[in-house]
């Protein structure tokens, strides 16, 4: 698409003339960071990406929505202010529930997370149109790198509900890397992008060589962020004041949380902070030291460590191989987080850009690339598949004995996308007439623990088991669209589907179970504690491994499970010891 030149507005802001696309009129593509706590919109100028201020003149718009009894909708600071007065009319941190069927009730009206997100997006769109003086119909929206397919599709639906065309979503760490200007560096460099926002946490490892910025690995936690550090401060105050959260009214809980948020920020610059709270017409004050707060945050800090280790392992790198650590997300401002990261990485992270604004600026650069703007140096951005994609299979654990419900990876996590992989599967019964392919996403060896995305069935000719086969091909693109093709080898007949995540026919109970953290394993209990411990450890290592390492572990795990089913004590001991030896080597 071309540009028709430049123009200067009456307020002196230099911005591009409207982009032209044949047959579709005029529009500008903006970059949006749809955050858990705050959201931003940015655009690209001659001087680089710039944040667009909202109607209040502020760069950050709180991701808060309120609806009053008459159906009036309030967004951002106004909605946040209503929280203390009308807590039952306000929703926040709904980004954490994207892709689920959870509903928020505001003044008696029901809303899904993507509907609430669409209201925030519409507000950003309107602010951008007023600032730019022209229609805004298309956007590049950032999403956490660890968002799965349903969460990404829910984000896209939110954009469409807001009147935006969302052809491209960019992972937040990739957007941050672009904003930091990594594409301008001349030397090959490896970066670890540490993204701790208000409600989600991502770690991404990127490598820059020539003009290619490649994501090597991602890991994270969709339920960890700055909000959790506020809750730690709140809990610490309640303990010192000898109060129970259940004894507080809804309004008092909102007031306490606000005070905890202030105290969390204040302790950044002091050895101690005094937190005050009005409780039943009496003011309660408690002094909290930085050391006390740091100790109380220890569990959260340990949760941060695991995704860092996992991303390095998947990228086959050590900490010493990382040239630069970049911090993004508002929660990285916390001293308790930065002190921990300096100890963890043994170096001072790069903090030259505002961590609250970095992702939006990067999304604006990506929007400019999409517009083919001449000012933007051409750079190839690659992304990875955040979770393993596979199907359910039957495995033979000993001659003539089969077990169904096992997971067969086809595209493993952290595979550079777009990618296309094929797996050949065979019939398991004599005279089998049909083969079913259940499309799954996750890391567990057991199909039931992974996220169900869709299903295809195909007929095959009758014959002895193992004679007929199908080729299952998964093709995953950068917009998180998964094409599944199933082809019968002997007949050439094929079936194809594209997983868009638009339909959801599961019950609320199923959704709750299947949308839990995919990295956590649910294992059926075994009779003996030692055997349970070995299996749990083995399952964890299997999820952390990839490729041949994963296959090797699966072989020894299957042998141990087979021994457990037979109940032979000596066989159990031998296979358990063999599995332990393999796991020791894997851990080392």
Helix (H, G, I), strand (E, B) or coil at 469: strand
Q: Which residues of 79-91 are buried (b: 16+ CB within 10 A; e: fewer)?
A: bbebbeebbebbb
- Give the span between the Cα atoms of 251 and 254, in whole angstroms: 5
Let me know: does 28 contact 85? Beta carbons within 8 Å. Answer: no
How many whole angstroms from its chain centre is CA 139?
A: 19
- Give the span between the Cα atoms of 84 and 328, in whole angstroms: 29
- Give the span between the Cα atoms of 380 and 382, in whole angstroms: 7
118 is written with which tokens?
A: 């669409």
Q: Compute CA distances 475 → 155, 392, 399, 421, whole Å.
A: 21, 17, 34, 7
Of 353, 256, 289, which Cα lies nearest the Cα of 33?
Answer: 353
457 is written with which tokens?
A: 């069935």
Rounded to 10 degrees, the C-alpha dihedral 326/331/333/338 comes to -70
108-115, long-range: CB < 8 A, 24+ apart: 108/69, 109/67, 109/71, 111/65, 111/67, 113/154, 114/154, 114/155, 114/157, 114/158, 114/161, 115/158, 115/161
Catalytic residues: 33, 95, 172, 195
């Amino acid at each position: 698409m071309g540009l028709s030149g430049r123009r200067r507005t009456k307020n002196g802001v230099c911005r591009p003339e409207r982009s032209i696309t044949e047959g579709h009129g005029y529009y500008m593509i903006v970059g949006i960071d749809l955050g858990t706590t705050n959201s931003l919109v940015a655009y690209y100028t001659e001087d680089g990406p710039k944040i667009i201020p909202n109607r209040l003149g502020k760069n950050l718009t709180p991701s808060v929505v309120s609806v009053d009894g008459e159906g009036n909708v309030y967004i951002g600071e106004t909605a946040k202010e209503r929280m203390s007065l009308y807590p039952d009319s306000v929703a926040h941190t709904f980004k954490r529930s994207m892709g689920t069927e959870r509903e928020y009730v505001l003044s008696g009206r029901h809303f899904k997370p993507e509907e609430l997100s669409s209201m925030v997006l519409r507000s950003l769109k309107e602010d951008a149109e007023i600032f730019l003086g022209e229609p805004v119909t298309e956007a590049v929206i950032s999403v956490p790198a660890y968002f799965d397919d349903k969460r990404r599709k829910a984000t896209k639906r939110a954009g469409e509900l807001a009147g935006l065309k969302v052809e491209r979503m960019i992972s937040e760490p990739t957007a941050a890397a672009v904003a930091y200007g990594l594409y301008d560096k001349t030397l090959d460099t490896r970066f670890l992008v540490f993204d701790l926002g208000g409600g989600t946490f991502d770690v991404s490892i990127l490598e820059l060589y020539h003009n290619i910025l490649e994501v090597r690995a991602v890991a994270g936690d969709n339920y960890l962020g700055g909000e959790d550090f506020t809750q730690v401060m709140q809990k610490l105050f309640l303990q010192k004041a000898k109060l129970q959260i259940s004894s507080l009214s809804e309004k008092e809980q909102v007031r306490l949380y606000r005070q905890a948020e202030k105290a969390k920020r204040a302790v950044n610059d002091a050895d101690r902070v005094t937190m005050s709270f009005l409780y039943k017409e009496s003011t309660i004050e408690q002094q909290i030291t930085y050391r006390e707060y740091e100790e109380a945050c220890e569990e959260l800090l340990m949760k941060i460590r695991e995704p860092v280790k996992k991303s390095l392992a998947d990228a086959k790198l050590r900490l010493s191989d990382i040239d630069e650590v970049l911090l993004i997300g508002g929660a990285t401002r916390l001293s308790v987080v930065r002190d921990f990261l300096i100890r963890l990485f043994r170096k001072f992270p790069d903090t030259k850009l505002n961590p609250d604004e970095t992702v939006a600026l990067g999304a604006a650069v990506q929007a400019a690339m999409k517009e083919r703007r001449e000012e933007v140096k051409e750079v190839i951005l690659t992304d990875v598949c955040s979770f393993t994609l596979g199907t359910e299979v039957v495995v033979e654990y000993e001659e003539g004995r089969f077990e169904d419900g096992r997971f067969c990876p086809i595209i493993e996590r952290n595979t550079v996308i777009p990618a296309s992989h094929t797996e050949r599967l065979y019939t398991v019964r004599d005279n089998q007439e049909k083969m079913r392919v259940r499309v799954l996403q996750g890391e567990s060896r057991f199909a039931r623990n992974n996220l169900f995305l869709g299903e295809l069935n195909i007929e095959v000719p009758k014959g002895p088991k193992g004679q007929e086969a199908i080729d299952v091909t998964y093709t995953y693109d950068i917009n998180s669209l998964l094409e599944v093709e199933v082809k019968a080898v002997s007949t050439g007949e094929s079936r194809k589907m594209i997983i868009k995540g638009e339909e959801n026919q599961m019950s609320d109970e199923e959704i709750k179970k299947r949308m839990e953290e995919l990295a956590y394993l649910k294992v059926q209990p075994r009779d003996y504690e030692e055997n349970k411990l070995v299996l749990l450890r083995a399952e964890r290592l299997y999820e952390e491994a990839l490729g041949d390492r994963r296959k090797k572990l699966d072989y020894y795990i299957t042998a141990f499970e087979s021994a457990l089913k037979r109940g032979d004590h000596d066989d159990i001991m031998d296979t358990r010891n063999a599995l332990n030896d393999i796991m020791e080597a894997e851990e080392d």
